[in-house]
Chains A and B, each alone.
Chain A
Amino acid sequence: MDLKEPRLVFLEANNSCPYRWSTGEIVGSFLTALRDHGKLLASKCPACYRVACPPASYCEECGAAATELVEVGPTGVVVSSAGVEEPWAGAPLDVPFCYVLIRLAGADTSLLHLAPNDGSVHPGSTVRPELRPERNGSITDIKWFVAAGEVERGGP
């Protein structure tokens, strides 16, 4: 017996899986300080003095428990960047942006975040965070990092 069109080529499947990720106390404190005070906190290792932002309750370098939180930034220097010209559906922002690794003042590690993709931010730039007016305790409470000079000229 003959088979009819259409052939079966693809089965579309969409799954939306919800999560509630426990942060633990240290990451929780980082997000709380960002939400409530717009501050960036880092963890300082008591054994090797490495300052890590974002913080963790353990030092990834030497393995010691790290429970002291210190404030870092708000400015930082861009270490590396990768530009996105055409954001895809579900991208972190819906305007052209750069992924940036930022060495915040006082930190020994780089923070991954975003920056405008308009030539204002590049490796070596000093940047500072542009906070969202409404914050809920996630890393996106910072919209992105902008060139520090811009904000000093009377930015948001």
Chain B
Amino acid sequence: MAGITNEFLLERLQLQFGQKIKGAEETFGMVSIIIEPGSILDMLTWLNTDNLLKFKFLTDICGSHYPDLKDQELCAVYHVQSMENNVRLRMKAFMPISNPEIPSVTSLYSSANWMERETYDFYGINFTGHPNMKRILNVDEMDYFPLRKEFPLEDATRTDKEDQYFGR
């Protein structure tokens, strides 16, 4: 079967979802679309069950922080793959940092369980409907989200470094 082209993929997505797709671009040979946070579960379900596209594999969920984008500071990024057609798709959902909420997709993909917890752990994005929304890699007592840009990478408890030599 001939692979599905990026143009066909984008056309079919826009036919189905129309205004819910707020932007699209092609980077590194891969379609990337910007979507509403609320529509993520509908879209992934449709992509999974569509007879032509068959995006049945969730590659990754991760987070991203853009401190300069007003009310769109946090971003959840979803990668899905159609093994049968050898096509990948990236979906980005932007959220305000004051209320970063997005529906969980664990009902569709069990593999999203770990990925969503990890994204919450590092960025504080709240996946509503996740069965166990708590930290997974960092210590439970941690009181911030370490990959947000306002927090320094270095540890505050370091004692053997002279600040003046290390630019801190």
Decide if A and B are genuine partners.
no
B interface vs A, CB < 8 Å?
Answer: none
A interface vs B, CB < 8 Å?
Answer: none
